């Protein structure tokens, strides 16, 4: 197995960055040799905790409330599909996605999250805002996309011929059937398998990591 070290300069750079649709493929599939199902399951860990702008530049929880963010379940995948996500900080390094009117718990999704379901890469590069659900309205008549420009363009999903469609298929699998339901088993099973592959010494189906620790 890989040797343990007390420190490894630059090891944090091996994690997927938040601003590129290619990061999931590069880190989980290419560098770690995992499958798309493994990658989708590991990203489900975003159901826990929150981002803080003072550390990462991204602020909010992936799920509805701070209380929900303390529960390890499939809510992350439900949030991807059910909420009208719109881009925030377009054109800046900390560009991400949010939902709601800002009158409750701040919410966040990263490009690496959104790219599991929505084909946003070119729109983000061109700084063209879109919204994942454009047909919902608040009681006062405001579109739930909030941002008027984003509300005019619905974020496209992948076509059946796109290589990333398999990621969307696995996100649907993690939902455990038609919503709403309490079936977390597909997520729990997939996460346990993916976590085991990624962390257990002796796995023989992983690829060598690039950028190994320098010898001292």
Give residue for tokens 């990061």: 23
The values of phi and psi at residue 50, to 5°, are -155, 160
Residue 216 has what pLDDT? 46
The stretches of 126-179 forming alpha helices (DSSP H) are 148-151, 165-174
How many angstroms separate the CA atoms of 115 and 204, rounded? 29
* Cα–Cα distance, 45 to 83 (Å, whole number): 18
Per-residue pLDDT of the chain (216 residues; tens, 9 = 90+): 456 666 665 555 555 665 667 888 888 898 888 999 999 999 999 999 999 989 889 999 999 999 999 999 999 999 999 999 999 999 999 999 999 998 878 999 999 999 999 999 999 999 999 999 999 999 999 999 999 999 999 999 999 999 999 999 999 999 999 988 999 999 999 999 999 998 886 666 666 655 555 554
- What does the pLDDT read at residue 179? 83
- How far lies 170's CA from each of 46, 47, 74, 97, in Å? 16, 16, 12, 21
Per DSSP (E only), the strands in the chain are 50-51, 60-61, 86-88, 96-98
182 phi and psi angles, rounded to 5 deg: -110, 25
Q: pTM of the full predicted structure?
A: 0.87
> Which tokens sit at 3?
């040797």
Distances (CA, A) of 103 to 3, 9, 120: 48, 41, 26
Give helix then strand counts, H and E, for the chain. Answer: 8, 4
């Amino acid at each position: 197995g890989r040797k343990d070290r007390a420190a490894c300069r630059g090891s944090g750079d091996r994690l997927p960055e938040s601003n590129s649709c290619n990061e999931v493929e590069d880190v989980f599939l290419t560098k770690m040799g995992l499958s798309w199902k493994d990658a989708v399951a590991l990203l489900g860990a975003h159901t826990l905790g929150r981002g803080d702008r003072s550390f990462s530049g991204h602020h909010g929880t992936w799920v509805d409330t701070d209380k929900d963010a303390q529960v390890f379940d499939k809510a992350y995948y439900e949030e991807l599909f059910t909420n009208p996500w719109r881009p925030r900080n377009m054109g800046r390094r900390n560009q991400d996605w949010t939902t709601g009117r800002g009158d409750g718990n701040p919410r966040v999704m990263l490009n690496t999250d959104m790219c599991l379901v929505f084909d946003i890469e070119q729109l983000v590069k061109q700084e063209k805002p879109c919204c994942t659900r454009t047909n919902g309205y608040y009681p006062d008549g405001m579109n739930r996309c909030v941002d008027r420009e984003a509300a005019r363009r619905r974020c496209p999903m992948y076509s059946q011929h796109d290589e990333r469609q398999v990621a969307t298929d696995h996100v649907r699998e993690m939902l455990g059937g038609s919503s709403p339901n309490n079936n977390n088993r597909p997520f729990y099973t997939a996460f346990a398998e993916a976590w085991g592959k990624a962390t257990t010494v002796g796995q023989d189906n992983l690829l060598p990591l690039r950028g190994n620790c320098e010898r001292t």
